[in-house]
Structure 1
Amino acid sequence: MVGSAVPVTEKLRVNQVVSENTHQVVVRGSASVPDPKPPVEKILSTDKTAKIKKIELVPNKAIVEGTLTLQIVYVAFEPAQSVHSMHAQLPFTTFVDLPGAQPGMDTRGKVTVEDISVSPHHGNPLKLDVAAVLSVFVKVTEMRDIDVVTQCPSGATCETERLTVSNVVASETRQVIVSDDFDVPQDKPAVEKILDVNATAEITGTRLIKDKVIVDGTVTVQVLYVAALPEQPVHQLHRSFRFSDFVEVPGATPDMDVRVDAVVENADVEPLQAVCCNRLRADVVLKLTAFVSEPREITVLTRVSGIQVTMVKLRIDHVVGEGAVQVVLRDVFETPDPKPAVEKILSTSVEKTRVTETKIISDKVIIRGYVDVQVVYVAAGSDQPVHAMHRRVHFRTFVEIKGVQSGMDVEVRPVVEFMTASAEGCEVTLELVLKVTVKVSQSLQREVAISVTPAPTPTPICPPGQTISYTVQAGDTFWSIAQKYNTDVNAIINANPGKTPENLLPGDVISVPCVAKG
């Protein structure tokens, strides 16, 4: 490609990838069968999920803390061989080597359960031995403003490439306090003293309006406390509650992309003063950081010859493609025991929308997930009490995106656009319209041109002792011509009788005597 006279540049604000890496970790531990569940004879199935709770950057390394959550279905060790289920959590801590990473940079992480083994503990059927293989991925980025050359300069030969990048329009941070008053669960004793509080936050939904990002999320607090009993045993309880807030981001519009990170900066749980130890108040300080971006296609120069240019290594997430699909979900079910039958439905609301699995095949992304719905209704009884029930609706769909391949990064955003519920007899019918938006990207590393160094003006050739012919250019004077050829003004005037500074015109051909050196 041969270029234009003036180099053209465009400014990009991108999340430059500093480092990324994957580390495998083996998590081993034991889970106790909770009282009053019977002991275990045989494991039937294990549903497993892993979640990252915290990523802390130290120089060239990330410390990752997370939780492995298990839902285990088993046959009881008793004559009736009844089937039961139990819930267990195992914490894990590991590190990922990330050359170049420094505290304060942005991080994104993902953990996948690659394999798991759960078996009854030898000699103790009330314990289970757990061994899991986790794959922990961490990417470190830093926001940078880069001016890239987009057109080949004049006199150069260039190789170009067309990239689609997520150009960061703006990013803003806001600190918020979310609070919740709640009762100690009935199966737990009252609280005498709080020993420790651990809190995590999860963003469940984002919505863009002009100059603002609306954020929905869930905070989960785990409380370790001394019970108000004579023997003062130590107990643990957890509480999850939802929050909704916003971050002002000037320049944001509804059609842009948004990512929000939530970091727990502080968490306190205290008994309410007016109620004796059975009612608690949680106050959690969150730092919400919103990144608003939009896809942008840009041409970059990856190789330039013929002139001097400054190249820089651009390491970014290149957007391979985007797509969306609408899915209609219909679920018919009976009211769960011991809930009464429905006479009239008052309201429906979405509690959580989650993607549980994504899989890339050639030119297609397969998505699995679920929507948790709450239905508030009037019961079919003489006193017509109001009840609420919860229902999980699973979905499976796919989005076609040309060029996607296994191993690329997938970002999925499911949004419930419409929902309705109706009841007839003992049956409740839920209908939802779900929009699933998918963006596929891959890490890309390229050397790109960011500036052009002007070529030095060559010194005109004027052999000493000779006289050359020169064509006058616009703006030339005898003095400027003498400076160009390092000669004397009077020598040029004497060599061109009849030509004066007043009648020197562009296009005239004059003689220029070259000064002999030495």
Structure 2
Amino acid sequence: MKIERQPVRVSTVIGENAGQSVLEGSVSLPVDAPEIGRLLRVRAHPVIMRYEVAEEQILIEGAVDLEALYASFHEVDGGEDTSAEVVLEERLEIGRWDRQLPFEFVLDIAGAEPGLPAKVAVSADRISYELQDDKRSVTVDLVLGFSGTVYRIDEHSLTTQATADYEVHREQRRIRLPLESVSVRGQERIQGFLAFGGRVLPQKVLSLTIRPSGEPTVRFSDGTAEIRSALTCAVLYTASEVGAAYVEWPEELVFVTTVTVPENLYKAMVSVDFSTADVQWQTIDTEEKRGMGIEATVFADLKIDQVMETAVITDLVAEEPYQVAVRKDWLLLREAVGEGRQHTLTEASLQLPAGALPIERLLLSEATARLEDVHVLGDKVAVEGVADIEIVYVGRSGETTSLTTCSWPAGIFFEIEVPVPGAEPGLERKAEVGVEKVRVDVINRETVAVELDLVTTVALSRSIELDHVVEAVEVGPPHPDPPSYTFLVLQAGDTLWKIAQRYHTQTEAILRCNKWLESESSELTPGMKLCIPRRRESKGG
């Protein structure tokens, strides 16, 4: 009888938790920046700089990046078209403060121990802000959301094959085990040219963003992964002829990088997150070219969630006249039932609230989605959620234009069904939803049409008890009159349990007769002799 065992490194969740914390602070513009005439919006981007798993908790440290979009007021000549000698002109500006608001948070996690790996995340759940009287300082109140998972990598050896020279019936159980995930980063320095055509060139670039267009492709081959994605470029800028302007170049650039990954992967869910650094640009206005030359470092963070599907042997029964003895081990495991990802297009028409300035020209649009409820049904997962929408635009009232914003908290409700084979009520679930792309078109001066490309991912799991075979050996009938002792020359693959089964004795009895063995797990060296007691010990002494 020969059995084959497959080693696996299983990711076992020890504990997870979430919490919130309030963060307050104030930031000020540098001395050479224009004063804030009117705040349009403030965005917060918390960054985790360090975390440590301690006894029953995770210690998280970081800081918040802040970005304020505002209008500055400037006195200019009224010109011939107005009776006023001097008028106030609005100009769009951006103020940025990197790592200005530090934070510390302790997240309680039952079962956490120093040295265990963890996954942590932080988000800005709510933000409120106020412009101070000096017109240069902004007070910010933030609600930060923290989440953390502490896990352990357990190494198991599962019996997946059993062979013999005779007929053996195998009882098997098919399971899907979450393995240790793989994360790797690729990066490339990219260059490009954004043609402006007949558009007015920027006098001041406020922001240049580079983001993926749609879902990237990942191709695996011989220990490598090629990540490829089209990139959309967008520029927010100002020029005296047009004031503020926003221009996009869809799928203008192509990003390709190759990273090294393990050769034997059990791919379940593959995701790529993009980010940029050291973004540079210059305006070009020649007879041959008219636009912006750009350069940036693009990072692609590839994450591979692994799930191994295998059939584990839970029992072995031989056909007569053969007999097989088996030793089993009991395991408590987390099984990955199924995963799913769904792309959904959601549309809605939104009216400007009463009192909002009618839309003259749209500049920016932004959307964030959050889940409200998750239902696990038969072979699918139904999620419900809402999306917050915000626009920045040039509004008009009579002859006067003004930079302004409008937001629709929970403005769009969505229901999405994600197919997941094997889904059923009662399973543990994790679900996330994100906005891949937002498109806003002006229907009329009081109404906008919004399209959201939503990406929903779900993963289902459950705890299972697995009683599986760890050793097996062919045994014959007991000897009717065995000798008191047998001396056996050890062979490769021998264990005390197998020897005890073959000779119808107990491992404890073998240990008592071989003082050089400390325990049942002591190493057996091939070639050495082992004394095996064959007769059962008399209870009478």
Sort the TM-score into its range (normalised by shorter chain): 0.3 to 0.5
Bigger Rg, structure 1 or 2: 1
Give TM-score scaled by structure 2 length. Answer: 0.45
Scaled by the length of structure 1, the TM-score of the pair is 0.47
